[in-house]
Structure 1
């Protein structure tokens, strides 16, 4: 394996100036940054006017980068290109003609990559990203239902290949029949309330904490919302019951010491931490509206899928009260993860690569 950085400091890019908001209290610095902010806005406005608008500016810079990619790819002469996002696909194909098959690895629900369903993506970006599917020969998607979220202009091979999950022997699952002094609800993931919604888990636990004094809530992960979550915990008086533990190199070890996995994400592509928790025998709770989560958890079979916060609280209490239910869900979750073995996923990738490359050479049909 070789990692190559094709960055070129001489590549022409017409960039907007950053808009900086001064947050200090020094009046002189406030005036300085106020003037700089006004100049940046004026400069950016003039730049977009000269280029014919924001979309034209974006396309100009994109085309310059695409030319750099074309030169690199022509020199390398690869047999296959695998992109890790539609944004990357757009970078290498915009205005280019490549006589090389391309597969895109979709790490989320496909429409998250090219539509504005999550917000923040301009219409011209949506058009460009959607059009880039014309260059694709194949895609790897995480679940069969994700086929419905591919754009209509894509006609290549589409194979379901999920993330590989470390397999755990049934003899090594979390033991739910043990009597413990303290029990633990765990969450593993980036501290990001917009996506992961850890604040929801904290609020739900707060409503049950007094009723179940020997249960705690533990978060593993780092992220931009640490301060917000820490403030919420302190405001609720739960500093001795809810813990932000930070980064861990081995989440499975932390999960093995827990009793319930709570995963209140708003959206996911796959839900790797959830899958790992299920593989180790933790009963899990998520939202029925969350992509990925509603694929892994089968309601009332290996976990619970809640419609809203109130229902999630009810399901969490059921698991707290019933160790036999926790054990049953844990065993079923472990069995459900067997399909995601490294061997199965590797076979899937080899088959996709072989199918796409053979078809590209005219040796097979898609």
Structure 2
């Protein structure tokens, strides 16, 4: 049986949670005897970052000759060079004029969007018809829209949801036009099955979905008991750690830096460490410099071994605005780190049980308060850390594999009987 996994963007060179789960899922399916291919459509040269079984094939169907009519990006110059300011001002005016004429010529913004989408969907149809997979798994509703817009497939299609489902199709996080929301919402009726991360996420599925839904959590690797953090050990310096892409809109690392800045003088033996890369490196680095914390707060960059970095810490701080699951948070719990997040953050408020394995704060003031409690009390860190380790043990690769194999079996059986 041949299974096609589709992540239409960012799989090549991607270091995010979706890329990691896509690779893990491909390996699980290979080990279960399936043929597996991962396909993307991205104007990049690169490869999968996370380990893949040698039998997993990765295909990029990108074709530079495929017509995509694009607007000219608008750039706001923020420097102080007068000549460059004039140059970019003129470029901006030209871009706005060009874009208005283009949208008018195409019959509106929605028509332009659909024109480009339809051309990509045609390319996907040609590729899928040649490959002839027995099952398709899309890694997002965006990927599902890419392959199904104007197309019809008799092949059963599943979707893997690596976030809260409404983040995938609604405008709850901003940035989507009403016509995009409508297209994405309607896509759910193309699905035969869907995987979600938590049972509570069922309520965020749209009424257009009528297929089979299963809760299949992300897997967390096992560690030996000797690798658990021992909070009773004496240390010259202690560490608060965060792992995630540097993205202040979602991950909100600036909040952690601001809170630590208020506590730094009172706790001179504590440091704050970030692992990850992203668009907000310069913003965060400037914040660190302005707070005169360059010798206490560190932006370490990318790591391919997050658990090893987490093991050297004492507290895990995760001030995200929204998450789907919070893989780094789960890995912190695995090695017995107590964690702090916001009670309003999806995913985080599923993994952290307030007062048991960490704290859920309602705002920055509460987060500072709970952070101080943990910094002051090694025995509290030890108790919460061990509780978190016990709670996370069911999040295994074996359970993930069993869940996916059962979903695939049930969907194929339903499809063949229908």
2:270 is the counterpart of 1:215: yes
2:324 is the counterpart of 1:257: no
| Structure 2, unpaired ranges of 5+ | 1-55
Q: Find the counterpart in structure 1 of residue 387 from structure 2.
A: 332
SS at match of 2:57: coil
Paired residues, number: 363
Offset at 1:66? 1.1
Contact 1:188 1:251 in 2 (8 A): yes
Aligned partner (choices 335, 354, 359) of residue 299 of structure 1: 354
Offset at 1:32? 4.5
Q: 1:33 to 1:213 in 2, by over 3 A?
A: closer
Aligned partner (choices 408, 413, 416) of residue 353 of structure 1: 408
Paired with 2:402 and 2:307, the residues of 1 have a C-alpha distance of: 25
Question: RMSD in angstroms over aligned alpha carbons?
Answer: 1.6
Q: Which moved more, 1:259-268 or 1:247-256?
A: 247-256
| Structure 1, unpaired ranges of 5+ | none
Offset at 1:45? 1.1
2:257 is the counterpart of 1:202: yes
Contact 1:170 1:334 in 2 (8 A): no
Contact 2:243 2:275 in 1 (8 A): yes
Offset at 1:172? 2.5
Q: 1:31 to 1:352 in 2, by over 3 A?
A: same
Q: Find the counterpart in structure 2 of residue 71 from structure 1.
A: 126
Offset at 1:266? 0.7
- Which structure 2 residues correspond to residues 1-366 of structure 1 after superposition, within 5 A? 1-22=56-77, 30-362=85-417
Q: Which runs of 4+ in 1 moved over 6 A?
A: none
SS at match of 2:340: strand
Q: Find the counterpart in structure 1 of residue 29 from structure 2.
A: none
Offset at 1:108? 0.7
Q: What TM-score, normalized by structure 2, do the two folds share?
A: 0.84
CA deviations on 1:259-292 (whole Å, 9 max, x unpaired) are 1111111111110110000001101111111001
SS at match of 1:3: strand
Offset at 1:297? 0.6
Paired with 1:37 and 1:75, the residues of 2 have a C-alpha distance of: 43
Paired with 1:290 and 1:33, the residues of 2 have a C-alpha distance of: 39
Offset at 1:294? 0.4
Contact 2:239 2:273 in 1 (8 A): yes
